[in-house]
């Protein structure tokens, strides 16, 4: 069972729909005890970095996510990916979950609209478990104004929007998708299916 973490800052409906379409067992939860018994976790997110971390802290989920991420696969989506990093610079400097080295900063794309919204193609410099069946040039759907700044070794996929933007990051069994796999058609569903397979290997 995959636990979809509910902390009041995620688009849970579309993630649940995508997992339903793949017949992947899941449960929406804000209970740290359920995270402990789950086989894997998905951390969705929509909104601002400081608000998301405040909600996680208030819900008592921050420590639970950090502890469980050492034992089982975790996938952060959009803002959920960003808060996997050490800190965010949105509005004010805020401590993140610290599961992947790096920080989150505003996209610098002169002449282009911010937020970065729409379909962009992927480069795959460092294939990982989630990129099986994903090809360079495949398109996925983005909605974001901030991006991760991290070492290349953690960047499995990237895209270009005025600058190189990490699109899929990975460190051990912790993964983050800046795009929305649940809204990215067959490519996104393949990535979610690859994530689910991690708990059956």
Coil, helix or strand at residue 83: coil
Please say if 78 is a catalytic residue. Answer: yes
Please say if 152 is a catalytic residue. Answer: no
Q: Out of 16, 78, 128, 170, which one is annotated catalytic?
A: 78
| E-only strand ranges, the chain | 2-5, 26-29, 40-43, 74-77, 85-88, 94-95, 100-106, 116-121, 139-144, 146-149, 155-160, 164-171, 174-177
Q: Out of 26, 116, 144, 180, which one is annotated catalytic?
A: 180
Q: Out of 26, 90, 116, 182, which one is annotated catalytic?
A: 182
Question: How far apart, in whole angstroms, are the C-alpha atoms of residue 164 and residue 191?
Answer: 21
Q: Find out whether 79 and 52 touch, Cβ atoms under 8 Å.
A: yes
Please say if 16 is a catalytic residue. Answer: no
Question: How far apart, in whole angstroms, are the C-alpha atoms of residue 83 and residue 53?
Answer: 7
Could you give the residue numbers annotated as active site? 78, 180, 182
């Amino acid at each position: 069972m995959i636990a979809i973490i509910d902390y009041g800052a995620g688009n849970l409906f579309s993630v649940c729909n995508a997992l339903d379409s793949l017949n992947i067992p899941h449960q929406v939860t804000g209970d740290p005890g359920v995270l402990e018994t789950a086989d894997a976790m998905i951390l969705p997110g929509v909104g601002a970095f400081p608000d998301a971390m405040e909600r996680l802290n208030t819900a008592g989920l921050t420590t639970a996510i950090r502890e469980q991420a050492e034992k089982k696969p975790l996938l952060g989506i959009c803002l959920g990916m960003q808060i996997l990093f050490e800190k965010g610079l949105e509005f004010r400097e805020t401590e993140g979950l610290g599961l992947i080295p790096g920080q989150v900063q505003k996209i610098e794309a002169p002449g282009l609209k911010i937020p970065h919204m729409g379909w962009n193609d992927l480069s795959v410099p460092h294939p990982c478990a989630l990129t099986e069946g994903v090809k360079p040039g495949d398109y996925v759907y983005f909605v974001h104004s901030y991006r991760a700044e991290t070492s290349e070794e953690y960047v499995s996929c990237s895209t270009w929007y005025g600058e190189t933007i990490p699109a899929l990051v990975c460190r051990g069994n912790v993964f983050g998708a800046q795009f929305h796999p649940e809204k990215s058609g067959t490519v996104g569903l393949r990535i979610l299916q690859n994530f689910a397979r991690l708990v059956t290997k």
